[in-house]
Amino acid sequence: MAGRKKDDTITADTFLEGVWRENPVFVMLLGMCPVLAVTNSVMNAIAMGVATTFVLIGSSTLVSLLRHVIPKQVRIATYIVIIATFVTIVDYIIQAISLDLYNALGAFIQLIVVNCIILGRAEAYASKNRPLKAVVSGLGMGAGFTLALLCLGSVRELLGSGTLLGFSVFGSQFEPWVVMILPPGGFFVLGGWLLLFNWLKERKEKTEVKEALHAR
């Protein structure tokens, strides 16, 4: 158990990894369904992000606490039941807070159960780490997911209805691009963000190659 001590330390990286370098949406392309479906406004995006983060943290904690108790053979089934329990809680909480929001998000709150990010985290991370570390990492992943939802939500709401969080941005002359809040807009905007990231990455690689050549 000598090597365990080192792995247990929680650094800023435990949190930041999920936000940027291993961003679940932009880098790992996980959990695409809610990303595309509920990002037609910023408010929906935030609500979905917070709900998913809550489930992620809750299930990570419980899985991590029970990691020595759960038998290997039935672990996936156990994880799914744990996740479904937290999703049911979130479902009722959102219903209690705001019925409008609940109707706007529709079935996608309950569909958090089948969000691959959460099951993936439970299997790959929470079942192997201490509760505290699993929570920090879950928080990072949740933040990364929320960030991605916001990236999509803000662009789509801005172009699709000319508003941001319900406030008008472009004034009354602006003709909204309705397609942006309709399903195709989701695909286009996410595709656009991925293009942007690919472009940035390629540019960075090119400058690195150039610098390396200059150094010689």
Partner 1 sequence: MHADSLTYIFLNAAIINNFVLALFLGICPFLGVSAKLKTAVSMGLAVMLVMLISSICAYAINSVLVSYDLEFLRLISYIAVIASAVQLVEMSMKKFSPALFRALGIFLPLITTNCAILGLALFQTTKEYDFVQSVSYSLGAGTGFILALVLMAGLREKLELAEVPSISQGAALSLMLAGILSLAFMGFAGLGA
Query: Residues interacting with partner 1, by CB under 8 A?
Result: 29-30, 32-34, 36-37, 77, 80-81, 84-85, 87-88, 91-92, 107, 110-111, 113-116, 119, 179, 182-188, 190-191, 194-195, 198-199, 202
Chain centre to alpha carbon of residue 40 = 16
Q: How far is CA 84 from CA 52, 109, 127, 135, in A?
A: 12, 11, 17, 18
What torsion do the CA atoms of 22, 61, 93, 25 make, to the nearest 10 degrees?
10
**Angstrom distance (rounded) from CA 141 to CA 116:** 12
CB of 15 to partner 1, least distance (A): 25
**Residue with smaller CB distance to partner 1, 34 or 133:** 34
Residue 178 backbone zone (phi > 0: left; psi -120 to 50: alpha; other: beta): alpha
| Nearest approach, Cβ of residue 52 and partner 1 (Å) | 13
Residue 76: CB minimum distance to partner 1, A:
8
Closer residue to partner 1 (CB): 14 or 41? 41
User: Which residue's CB is nearer to partner 1, number 27 or number 164?
Assistant: 27
H or E element: which one contains 164? Answer: strand 163-164
Name the minimum Å distance from CB 123 to partner 1. Answer: 11
Residue with Cβ nearer partner 1 (166 or 191): 191
Query: Least distance in Å: CB of 69 to partner 1?
Result: 19
| Residue closer to partner 1, measured from CB, 107 or 212 | 107
Query: Between 87 and 136, whose beta carbon lies closer to partner 1?
Result: 87
Shortest Cβ 6–partner 1 spacing (Å): 33
Rounded CA separation 71/58 (Å): 20
Cβ contacts of 98-105, under 8 Å, gap ≥ 24: 101/43, 101/44, 101/47, 104/38, 104/41, 104/43, 104/44, 105/38, 105/44, 105/47, 105/48, 105/51
Cα 99 to Cα 37, 74, 109, distances in angstroms:
18, 36, 13
